[in-house]
């Protein structure tokens, strides 16, 4: 890969380049940073990375990351039980939680419908969402997928298949620009999008 570079550094650079949004230059900077970092700090990082594989699970109800079978949001008795906010992934849930505008429960799809990437409805956690609607006396489903092509495709698909349940379905308001991702929006924008949601 790079001439005259120590093999351990080269191996690390190759592994770092597998991370999202990390190109060759970023990988090199990170590798050299780690090479100059104290071993105790490297050990802490390694311990944290191993921890997410050994101690982190998916919530059996909503699909959120959790240290136990049921996540802290699903087990929180102060949350509103009959409203479910459907998001694409964990990052969207975090963005909405930071806004403090929503007090219901969540359901993580584990992605968005994207034919170009080979992701169809069968690849998402939709069946478990239907099970929840049937078993949890859900009154409202808020579809909070990103306002881009994949997010809109997913929202329309969900609206169509969930219409048989005769529950209120809303879509987050367009305080979010079209093509924008929830995880990058500020708290006020997300708060307005949740409060101003529209029925679909």
What pLDDT score does 13 carry? 93
Distance between CA atoms of 41 and 32, rounded to whole angstroms? 14
Look at residue 178 and tell me whether its pLDDT is greater than 70: no
Percent of the chain with pLDDT over 70: 90
- Convert the pLDDT of each residue in 107-155 to its tens digit: 999 999 999 889 999 999 999 999 999 998 899 999 999 888 899 899 9
The percent of residues above 90 in pLDDT, for the chain, comes to 70
Q: What is the pLDDT of residue 93?
A: 95
Lowest mean pLDDT among 8-17, 41-50, 56-65, 172-181: 172-181
Co-location of 20 and 83 in the same domain: no
> Domain of 12?
7-54
- In angstroms, rounded to a whole number, what is the distance separating the alpha carbons of residues 162 and 181? 24
Instruction: Give yes or no for a contact between 156 and 186, defined as CB atoms under 8 angstroms apart.
Output: no
Global pTM reads: 0.75
* Residue 158 CA from chain centroid, whole number: 17
Q: Is 63 exposed, middle or buried (0-12, 13-18, 19+ CB in 10 A)?
A: buried
Question: Is residue 65 included in any domain, yes or no?
Answer: no
Same domain, 46 and 108: no
> Which CATH number goes with the domain that contains 181?
3.40.1360.10
Our count of domains for the chain comes to 2
Q: What burial class does residue 71 get, using C-beta atoms within 10 Å of its C-beta: 0-12 exposed, 13-18 middle, 19+ buried? A: buried
State pLDDT tens for residues 155-176.
999 999 999 998 999 988 765 5
């Amino acid at each position: 890969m790079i001439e005259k570079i120590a093999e351990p550094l080269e191996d690390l650079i190759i592994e770092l380049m597998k991370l999202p949004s990390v190109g060759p230059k970023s990988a090199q900077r990170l590798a050299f940073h780690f090479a100059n970092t104290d071993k105790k700090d490297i050990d802490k990082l390694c311990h944290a990375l191993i921890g997410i594989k050994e101690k982190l699970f998916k919530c059996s109800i909503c699909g959120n990351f959790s240290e136990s079978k049921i996540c802290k949001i699903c087990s929180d008795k102060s949350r509103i039980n009959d409203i479910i906010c459907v998001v694409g992934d964990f990052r969207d849930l975090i963005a909405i939680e930071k806004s403090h505008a929503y007090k219901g429960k969540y359901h993580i799809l584990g992605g968005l419908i994207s034919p170009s990437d080979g992701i169809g409805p069968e690849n998402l956690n939709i069946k478990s969402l239907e099970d929840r609607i049937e078993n949890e006396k859900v009154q409202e489903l808020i579809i909070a997928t990103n306002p881009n092509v994949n997010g809109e495709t997913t929202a329309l698909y969900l609206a169509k298949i969930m219409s048989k349940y005769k529950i209120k379905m809303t879509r987050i308001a367009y305080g979010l620009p079209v093509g924008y991702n929830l995880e990058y929006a500020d708290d006020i924008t997300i708060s307005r999008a949740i409060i101003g949601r529209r029925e679909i």
